[in-house]
Amino acid sequence: MLIRDAWLMCTHEMQKLGELEQVKQQSDEAGLKTFSGLAFACGTPQSQPDDAAFGAFAAGVFGVPPTLGQLSQLRRLHFEACTIVFATLKSNVAGDLTDGIRKLPPAEKQARAKDQQTRLTGIALSGEMEPSYALVDKCASMRETGSLLWIHPSQCTKREQEVQQTLKEKSQVLKIENMTLKMAADTETFEADHGTELKLMWCFQRRGLAFDQAALISWDKHESWVSAMFQAYSAEPPPSFAKVTMPQLLRADKELFTILAREVESIQPDGVGNRPLDDQITRLKTDPRVTMHLLPLPTKAHSVEASNAGKPERWTHLSVVPPTRRKLTRPPRNLFAEDWSARDSFVLENTSIRKWLKRASELASKEKDLHDSLDPEVARVLKGKRLLALEEILNDIGFPDRHLVKDICAVFRIIGWLRDSILFPHRSKPPQYSVDALLRFLKGLSRSIFESVNFEEAIDASVGVWEGTIKEIEKGWLVEDENPDLDMLVVVRRFGLMQKSKVRVIDDFKQCGVNGSTGLQEKYVLYSMDAIAATLVRALSVGLPEGGTLGGTIIALVAAYQQYAIHPTDRERVRICVKDVEQGVAKVYKISALPFGASGSAAGFLRISAAFACIGQVCLGFWWSSLFGDFPTWTTTSMAAQCKTQVHLLLYLLGIDFARDGDKAGAFEETFKALGLLIDLTNFSAGKIRIGHTDSRKQELLDRIASHLDQNCLKPKDAEKLGGRLQWYGTFLFGRFANYSMSVISRGATSCFLDGSLDPQLHLALQFPKEHVSVSKPVELTKSAGKTYYIFTDGAVESTADGLQIVASVGGILYNINGEAKAFFSERVPQLILDLFLQRAGHPIFEVELLAARVAAHVWAPAIAKSYVVFYVDNEAARFGLEECLRIQTLLTNPVVRNPATVGRWFRFG
C-alpha cells in the first residue's frame, strides 16, 4: 500500500487532531479515504485553493458551514496530505540514494499492525510473531516498486531483535554521498536465527505477517504454503528414502517466489482489493516445479564388508565338462526337453526333498523357539509353518527377496507403505491419503457401513457369506468384538459373490478406505494365462521325447491368504462387519489372518507365491507357474506320479495346506482346467495347443444372452454383469468386432436412463456373441505364433477429371519380420460399396481407410493366421476406430464387407 494512498496513517493524524470520529465519518461519506484523495479534492499540491474554494470544500465535507476550529483542522490535514503526496511523487522520480528500501513512517507501521491484529483474531502479534520494521519496509517497498523478491528466512527478523539492536551504540564512519564526504553511523545488519524447525517456521510466519501488512499476500494464503512445506517435512518417508530436509524447504520456497516473480505481471491489488499473488500461491503450491523439491530423496547405498567372496546371483551354473556326475546324483535342471526322461525319475526321490526334510527335522527345536517368540495370535495362524527351513532354502537358491521370512514373522501390513521386495519392477504408487487421514474420517464412515450392513436385506448370497464366516470363526481366523468402538475402528463390509454352486466371500477394503491408504513400491506382475501360453509355445518349439505325451494339473492352496497373519497394529484397527442371517443383526469381528480383498494382503501373498514357484523350479526342476494360490503344473505322463509326489512333499515340508481332492487336486491329464479355462494338449505332438472355455461356461453364457433377447430387456445391473462375463469370455474367442459389442453393452451398464428395452444397436451387440459363442473356435497356439508381420494399407477418394464422379481405391503391402515384401494389392473400390459409403458421408475417406485394412486382413488371412500382425494406417481417425472399435459399425455391420471369421486376426495397430 503506497504511503500517499494510506488511510490508516490519515486516520492516525486525525486522531492527533482530536476530531477522529467526526472527521472520519464526514470524510467517509464524502468518499475521501486516502491522502491522495484528500490532496486533490480541493486544488492540487502545487496550486493551493483560495479561502472561498476551501470554505466550500469544507462545507461539502461536513455538510454544514464549518466552525473556525473545524476549518483549521481540515486545512492542516489537507496541507499534510499535499506535502506527503508531493514528497512521495518526488521520491518515486528521483529515488533514494542512501537506502534501496523506502521506509514507511512509524505511525503508518503502527497503524497497520493495529489493524492487522484486529483482523487476525487468535494470533498474538508479539514476541516471535511480531515482524521487524525492517521486514515490513522490505515488503512495502516491493509493492511500491512493483518488483517481487524472495526474502531469505535470515532476513525475517522480529521487532524485539530490532529494538535490542538499535539500543547498541553505533560506530561512526565516513561515507561519500552525492560527491560529498560526510560522517554517518555505520549500518549494522542482523539476521534471524533459523537453525531449527521451529525457528524456521517462525521466520516464515513473520514474513507472512509482513506481506499481509503490505497488502501483497494474505496471511491465510501464505500460511497455507508454510503448512504445506512443513507437512512434507514431517511426513514419514517410504522405505529406502530419506526425510525431507530444511534445505529442501528453502529450495522449494525460493522456487515458488521465483515463479511468482516471473509469471505474475502486476503484484499490486486491483481496484476492489483483490491480491493477484493470493491465487497464484494457491496454484503454485501444488505445481510439480515446486513440489519436486519437497519429495523424499533416496538414501545412499552403504558398503558392507563380507566375510567371504560369496556366490554369483545366479540360480544355475554351467559346466565346461559333460554333466555326467550331476546327472547321477542330482535332479535335472528342469522337467523339459531332454531332461524329460524316465532315467531321471529315481534321482528325484533322493535329492533336494530328502535333504531339506532332514534339515527341517534338525531345525525343529529352533522352529519351536521361533514360534514361541511370536505374538500369540500370529503364532496361532502360522502354526505348522517351517519358517527357518523356508529361509534356508531361499538363501540356498539365492532368492532375491531377502526379507520374506522376516516379514512373515513380523507379519504383513495392509495399511501404509509396503516393503520393496525387489522381485517385481519398481514403480512407486503412493497412498491416496495418509494413515492419519484414514483415522480422521473413520467416525462417520465406519458407523455408516455398520448401519448399511445391519439394515440390508438377506439374499441368497447372504446365507453363503454367513456360512463362510462361521467356518472362519471355527478356525480361529475371526473373533467377535461384542463391544466395538465404531468411532475408532475401520469397519469393512463383507459381501458374497455367487459363483455357480458356491459363494465367494469378499471383504470390501476399498469402500472403507484401507486400500486407498496402502502405498506400493512395485508393479506386481501376475503370471496368468498369457505367461502359460508363452511357455507352451516354447514347449512346442523344443518338443517331447519320442512317444511322450504332455499332461497338466492344478496344485491349489487351501485358504491361501488365511494361512498367514495380519500385523497386530492393523489387527487392532480393522474389523469385519457381516450380517448374522440367523439373528438378523450385523456383527463385528476382529481378524487374525490376511483378509481377501485388501491390496496389502495380495502384495504380501504374491511374494510368498513367487518364493514357492522359485523353489519348485530351481530345487526340483518343476515346470509350473503361479497365480496367487494356484500353481498350474506340467510334466510328461511317464513322470506324472513322481512329479505329483514331489510337489506334495515340498508343500508338506513347508507346512502349507493344499487341496488333496476335488477339481484342483486331479491327476495329470492332457485336457485340464487352469485359471478358469480349458487347456487341451491332446494335439501337442502335432504342434497344436488349444485354450478355450468349458462347455458349461459356454452354455451358461448362451442361456443368459438368450434370456435377455427373448425378454427384449437388459437393465443396467444386468448389463454390468453380462459385460464382465463377455469381457473374460471374449479374451479367448472374439476379435475387434467384439470390442464394439462390449462398448455398447458397457454404455448400457452405465446409463442412468436405460429403461431396459433393447434398441436396434443394443440388440445387434447381444446378437453377435450369441451367434459366435457356440461356433467360434478356441485360441490355437502353434509354433508360428511367434512370427510377426507388418501390413501397410492406404485408401484414396477423389473426383474424376470431369468432376462428375467420385472414385475410390485401396492398397496394401505385407512385410515379414526381416522387412521383405511378401505380397501387395491395389484395387478400385466397387461402385456398390462406394455408394453405400456415400450415403453416410460426402467424402468417405474414413470408411475407405477402414476397408483397406479389412481387405488386407481378408486377403492375407492364411499367411498371417495365428501370428502377430502390426497394421500401419496413415489416417488417424481410422487408426483410432480400428483400435477402439467404437466407430467401425458402419463397415463391419454391412453384409457386403462383414466377415467376422477374420476380424479376430488383428493384434495391434500402429
C-alpha cell at 325: 556326475
Region label for 398, one of left (φ > 0), alpha (ψ between -120 and 50) or beta (otherwise): left
Kindly state the helix (H) or strand (E) to which residue 832 belongs, with its residue range. helix 831-838
- Same domain? For 215 and 239 the reply is yes
Of the pLDDT bands very low, low, confident and very high (cuts 50, 70, 90), residue 815 is: very high
Q: Domain ends where: 66, 94, 122?
A: 94
Share of the chain above pLDDT 70, in %: 78
Same domain for 263 and 114? yes
Mean pLDDT of 357-362: 88
Residues 818 and 853 in one domain: yes
The Cα 845–Cα 236 span in angstroms is: 57
754: number of CA atoms within 13 Å, CB side?
23
| Sequence-ordered list of residues with C-beta below 8 angstroms from that of 627, at least 6 positions apart, any chain | 526, 527, 528, 609, 675
Taken in order 99, 101, 102, 106, is the CA torsion positive or negative? negative
Q: How is residue 631 written as a grid cell?
A: 500353481
Contacts of 791 (CB under 8 A, 6+ apart): 812, 813, 814, 815, 853, 856, 857, 860, 864, 869, 870, 871, 872
Q: What's the rounded Cα separation, in Å, for the pair 211 and 223? A: 11
Given 746, 773, 800, the domain boundary residue is 773
78 and 130 share one domain: no
**What does each C-alpha distance from 420 to 303, 518, 626 come to in angstroms?**
19, 13, 20
> CB burial class (10 A; 0-12, 13-18, 19+) of residue 675?
middle
Between 70 and 556, the more confident residue is 556
Over the chain, what is the mean pLDDT?
79
Q: Could you give the CA distance from residue 462 to residue 467 in angstroms, rounded to a whole number?
A: 9
In a domain, 558, yes or no: no
Q: How many domains does the chain have?
A: 5
Q: Are residues 64 and 113 in the same domain?
A: no
Residue 851 pLDDT exceeds 60: yes
CA–CA separation, 856 and 821 (whole Å)? 14
Q: Give per-residue pLDDT as tens, 456-511.
A: 887 778 888 899 999 999 988 999 998 888 888 999 999 888 776 788 888 999 98
Instruction: Please tell me whether residue 41 adopts helix, strand or coil conformation.
Output: coil
What secondary structure, in 3-state letters, does 120-148 show? CCCCCCCHHHCECHHHHHHHHHHHHHCCC
Look at residue 230 and tell me whether its pLDDT is greater than 50.
yes
Residue 322 lies in a domain: no
pLDDT confidence of 73, banded at 50, 70, 90?
Answer: confident
* Same domain, yes or no: 769 and 788: no
Q: Which long-range contacts (CB under 8 A, 24 or more apart) does 12-17 make?
A: 12/107, 12/108, 12/110, 12/111, 13/77, 13/80, 13/107, 14/77, 17/73, 17/76, 17/77
Q: Is the residue at 236 inside a domain?
A: yes
Whether 743 and 885 share a structural domain: no
Q: Is 706 inside a domain boundary? A: yes
* pLDDT range class, residue 390, cuts 50, 70, 90: very high
pLDDT of 681 strictly over 60: yes
884 and 748 in a common domain: no
Among 376, 355, 373, which Cα is nearest to 365's? 373
Stronger pLDDT, 825 or 320, i.e. the higher one: 825
CATH number at residue 884: 3.30.420.10
Residues 218 and 248 in one domain: yes
pLDDT of the residue at 83: 80
The total of other beta-carbon atoms located within 10 Å of residue 800's CB is 9
State the pLDDT at residue 587: 92
Tell me 633's DSSP state: E
* 656 in a structural domain: no
pLDDT of the residue at 564: 92
What confidence category does residue 203 fall into, taking pLDDT thresholds of 50, 70 and 90?
A: very high
Q: What is the spatial distance between Cα 357 and Cα 363, in angstroms, rounded to a whole number?
A: 10
Say whether pLDDT at 886 is over 50.
no
DSSP type of residue 195: -
* 3-class SS letters over 663-727: HHHCCCECEEEECCEEEECCCHHHCCEEEECCHHHHHHHHHHHHHHHHHCECCHHHHHHHHHHHH
DSSP character string of 547-565: T--EEEEEEEBSSTGGGSB
- Verify that 226 and 128 share a domain, yes or no: yes
> CATH no. for residue 438?
3.10.10.10
Rounded to an integer, what distance in angstroms lies between the CA atom of residue 5 and that of residue 190? Answer: 31
pLDDT of residue 369: 92
Cβ atoms of residues 910 and 872 within 8 Å: yes
* Residues 828 and 697 grouped into a single domain: no
**Is 262 a domain residue?**
yes
Mean pLDDT value of segment 172-194: 64
What is the domain extent for residue 880? 784-909
Q: Which pLDDT band, with edges at 50, 70 and 90, does 93 fall under?
A: low
Judgement on whether residues 278 and 193 belong to the same structural domain of the protein: yes
Q: Which of 50-59, 211-220, 261-270, 371-380 has the lowest mean pLDDT?
A: 50-59
Cα(679)–Cα(353) distance, integer angstroms = 30
What are the Cα distances from residue 689, in Å, to 526, 545, 587, 672, 780? 22, 17, 50, 12, 6
| Dist. CA 386–CA 395, nearest whole Å | 15
Burial of 618 (0-12, 13-18, 19+ CB in 10 A): buried
30 vs 449, higher pLDDT: 449
User: Domain for residue 19, yes or no?
Assistant: yes
Q: Does residue 349 fall inside a structural domain?
A: no
Q: What SS3 state is found at 187?
A: coil
d(CA 905, CA 854): 11
Per-residue pLDDT band at 825 (split at 50, 70, 90): very high
| Exposure string over 388-399, b if 16+ CB within 10 A, otherwise e | bbbbbbbebbeb
Residue 640 DSSP SS3: helix
Q: Which pLDDT belongs to residue 257?
A: 93
Q: Which of 704, 713, 791 is nearest to 756 (CA)?
A: 713
Whether the per-residue pLDDT at 694 is higher than 70: the answer is yes
Average pLDDT (838-854) is 86
From 60, 94, 128, give the residue that closes a domain: 94
Would you call 52 helix, strand, or coil by DSSP?
helix
Provide mean pLDDT across the span 110-132: 88
DSSP letter at 157 equals: -
